[in-house]
Amino acid sequence: MLRFLSHPKEKSRAPSGSNRMGLDPTPAAPIYADDEEVRGLCDLYSPEPTSCAHVRDLADVLLELRKITDEQYGRLRREAIGKPGLDPTTWFLKEGIVGPNDVLEAKARLNGLEFRRLSPEEVDKEVFKKLELDFIKRSSIVPVRVEGNLLHVATGEPTNIFALEDVKRQTGMDVRAHVCPPEDIAAVCEALHEEPVGEVLDDIINDLTEVEVVQDTDEVGEDLEKMAGQSPVIKFVNYLISNAVHEGASDIHIEPKEKETRIRYRIDGVLFDAMQAPQKMHPAIVSRIKIMANLDISERRVPQDGKVAARVGGRSIDLRISVLPTNHGEKTVIRILDSRSITRGIENVGMEPEVSKVFREQVALPHGILLVTGPTGSGKSTTLYSALGEMDGKTLNISTVEDPIEYELETCNQVQVNEKTGLTFAAALRSLLRQDPDIIMVGEIRDNETARIAVQAALTGHLVLSTLHTNDAATSVTRLVNIGIEPYLIAASLNAAVAQRLVRRICPKCKKPFNVPDHMRKYIEKAGGDPNQIIHGAGCDACRGSGYVGRAGIFELLVIDDKFRDMIHTDTSVSNMRRAFRESGRDTLFDDGIKKIIQGTTTLEEVLRVTEMYGTTEDEEFTENLH
C-alpha cells in the first residue's frame, strides 16, 4: 500500500515559480513510503502527451463531396490550430468558398440523411395537412408522402432531432427524413396553402369589375395611377405573378383583344391560356405593372422596358418587363428569371457524361473562345452561368458584359450594356481588357467589332465565353467568317462550340409505354436502346394534359482540333463543316436526343420538334419516314 507523508509546516512549498526569500522555485515532489516501488508505478502510469483523436466534421464531408479543395481544407485546419472551436461552416461561408446549399448537403451526409431538392409537385396535398402550417414554417419540416405507417418528411434543419421527434408524436407515425433547402419548404407552403385557384380568381375578377374605369384620353396619367393603386388591381397583378411562378412559367403574356384581355403563360417553352380579364381593366393592369417597374404610365405610344425585384414562395426572383403598343392597347410581357435555374451545376443541365467531361476541360483552359450556340430560349445563358458558377472567383478575375444582366453572380464583375450612353458590347469589352481579366463572358457576339475584340482577347491569353445564334455547332465557324473574322484568326482562337436545345421532360405521373412505329425502331436500336421500352406522357392534371413537366437539354459539342484548324484555313462552308463534324464521331443534337428518348427523359415528338424546326435533323430518311 502506498502512503503519502505530508511536509512539515516549516518546510511548506512556495507557489510554483516563486523565488522570493531564497525559496526553491522548483515544486517539491510528494514523499512516498517506498520510493523504488512508487517510481516503478509512476513509469507504468505516466500519461502520454495530450493528443485529441480527430472527429469527422463538416470540413471532411465537404472535401469528400469535392465542394472544397485539399488546399482549402488544409488552410482551415491550419487556422483552427490557433483558434480553438473554429466553426467550419462559418469559416467556409465567410470566405465565400461554398454556398449555403453546399453546407446543407454536407450536414445531411454528416447526419446520415439524403439531400435533394423538393418541388410542390412531389408533396401529397393530403399528407401536407397532417401538420399545422405554423409548425411547418417554424420547424422547417414538411410532410411529403406516406408509405404504410412511415411518414416521409423534408427538413431544412437536419440537426434538429427534437422537431423530428415532435412530428412523430403529433402524427403517431414513424418518420424518415431527407434534407432540402429552406426555400424549397417555403415554396411548398405557399403553393399548397393557397385557396382554390378558381375561387381566388373569381373573387379578384369580381372586384376588378367594380373599379371605376377612365375614358381613353390623352390626359389620364393621374387617373391611371389612382386605378393602378386600387386593391383589386394590385391583387390581380400579384396573383398573375405568383401563380405563374407556381406553375413554373418563364413568361407571362398580357394581350389586349377587342372584347377581353387574354393572359397566357409560357411553360416549358409552350404557351398556355391561363385566364381572361375584362378588357376595360387592361389599362389599369398595365399601369400597375409600369408602376412596379418605374416606367412612365402616361406614355402609351412607344415601347418601354424595365425590371422588378420580387419575392415569391420564399425566394427572390427578377422580372423583366416589356411593354409594346398594339392596335387594342399595350401588350405586356413579363419574363420571370429564377436564380435557382443556374445553381444546379454543369452536371444537371442535361449533358451526357462524356460531353460534360469535355465541356469542363474546355472551361478550364487558360485562353481561347468557347461558344454556346442556339436560338433564343434554348438555355444558352443558363449553361454559361452554370460554368461561371463553378469557377474559382477567389483567385480569378471574372467579368461579364450582358444585355441585360439576367442573374447576379457573387463571383463575377457584371457590366450592363447601355446603348444610349455608348456602352456597347464592343466598348465594354475593350474597357474590360484594361481591367486585368482572366475570364470574360460576353452575352452575345452580334457584330464584327465585338467578335474581333473577343478574338484579340483570346489570342492575348484570356478565356472568352460567349453565345452565338446558329443552328448547330459546326455552323458557328461559318457565322464568324460571315461576320468578318479572318479564317486564320478563327483557327487560332476558337477552342470549341456547343450547340443546345431544350426538350420537354416526360411527366413522371402519367408516363406509360409508347409503341414506336416500325420505320423508326432502327434508330432506337442503332443507339443501343430497346424500342419496346420507350415511354411517353399520356397527360394528367399535374402536367395540364400535355404529358410533359420541366425541360432538359440536348447538346452537340464541336472541339476544334488540328484537323478542323486546317479545314478552317481552306473551306469554311456550312456543308463542309457539318460533314467534318459527322466524321469526327461526336453526337449531333439528333443523336443526343435519341439517347434522351432511350433514357425516358423525353419523346420522339419533342426531339423532332426542336431539331427539325432549325434544320438540325441530320438523317433525311428519318424525316421523310416520319411524315
Classify residue 134 by burial, with Cβ atoms within 10 Å: 0-12, 13-18, 19+: exposed
Cα R_g (the chain), whole angstroms = 32
pLDDT higher than threshold 70 for residue 470:
yes
- Going by pLDDT thresholds of 50, 70 and 90, the confidence category of residue 344 is low
What pLDDT, on a 0 to 100 scale, did the predictor assign at position 400?
92
Q: What is the pLDDT of residues 347-365, one digit of tens each?
A: 677 788 889 899 999 999 9
What pLDDT, on a 0 to 100 scale, did the predictor assign at position 342?
59
What pLDDT, on a 0 to 100 scale, did the predictor assign at position 236?
85
Least confident piece of the model among 341-355, 495-509, 519-533: 341-355
pLDDT higher than threshold 80 for residue 26:
no
Of all residues in the chain, what percent carry a pLDDT higher than 90? 25
What is the dihedral sign for C-alpha 153, 155, 160, 166? negative
Mean pLDDT, range 516-527, rounded to an integer: 79
Q: CA 287 to CA 456: how far, in whole Å?
A: 46
Q: CA 131 to CA 146: how far, in whole Å?
A: 13
What pLDDT, on a 0 to 100 scale, did the predictor assign at position 228?
52
Q: What is the pLDDT of residues 545-593, one digit of tens each?
A: 889 988 889 999 999 999 899 999 988 898 899 898 988 888 999 899 9
What pLDDT, on a 0 to 100 scale, did the predictor assign at position 229?
54
Q: What are the C-alpha distances in Å from 45 to residues 5, 28, 40, 48, 374? A: 21, 20, 9, 9, 75
Least confident piece of the model among 39-53, 470-484, 532-546, 593-607: 39-53
What pLDDT, on a 0 to 100 scale, did the predictor assign at position 209?
53
What pLDDT, on a 0 to 100 scale, did the predictor assign at position 221?
47
Q: CA 103 to CA 100: how far, in whole Å?
A: 5
- Going by pLDDT thresholds of 50, 70 and 90, the confidence category of residue 61 is confident
What pLDDT, on a 0 to 100 scale, did the predictor assign at position 313?
62
Least confident piece of the model among 19-23, 63-67, 320-324, 622-626: 19-23
- CA–CA–CA angle 93, 96, 97 (5° rounding): 90
Mean pLDDT, range 259-270, rounded to an integer: 90
Least confident piece of the model among 8-17, 186-195, 439-448: 8-17
Q: What are the C-alpha distances in Å from 148 to residues 120, 121, 145, 154, 416? A: 22, 21, 10, 18, 55
What residue ranges in 49-117 does DSSP mark as E strands? none
The C-alpha cell at 106 is: 454536407
- Going by pLDDT thresholds of 50, 70 and 90, the confidence category of residue 367 is very high
Mean pLDDT, range 478-506, rounded to an integer: 93
- Going by pLDDT thresholds of 50, 70 and 90, the confidence category of residue 14 is very low
Q: What is the pLDDT of residues 163-220, one digit of tens each?
A: 888 899 888 899 999 999 988 888 888 777 654 444 455 666 665 555 444 444 444 4
Q: What is the DSSP letter of 340?
A: G
Classify residue 394 by burial, with Cβ atoms within 10 Å: 0-12, 13-18, 19+: exposed
Prediction pTM value: 0.64
Best CA proximity match to 578, nearest among 497, 488, 491, 520: 497
State the CB neighbour count (10 A cutoff) for residue 349.
21
Q: CA 104 to CA 124: how far, in whole Å?
A: 24
The overall average pLDDT reported for the chain is 80
pLDDT higher than threshold 80 for residue 461:
yes
What pLDDT, on a 0 to 100 scale, did the predictor assign at position 206?
60
Least confident piece of the model among 103-107, 174-178, 195-199, 252-256: 195-199
Contact predicate 477/494, CB 8 Å: yes
pLDDT higher than threshold 50 for residue 24:
no
What pLDDT, on a 0 to 100 scale, did the predictor assign at position 368?
95
What pLDDT, on a 0 to 100 scale, did the predictor assign at position 463?
94
Least confident piece of the model among 218-227, 257-266, 521-530: 218-227
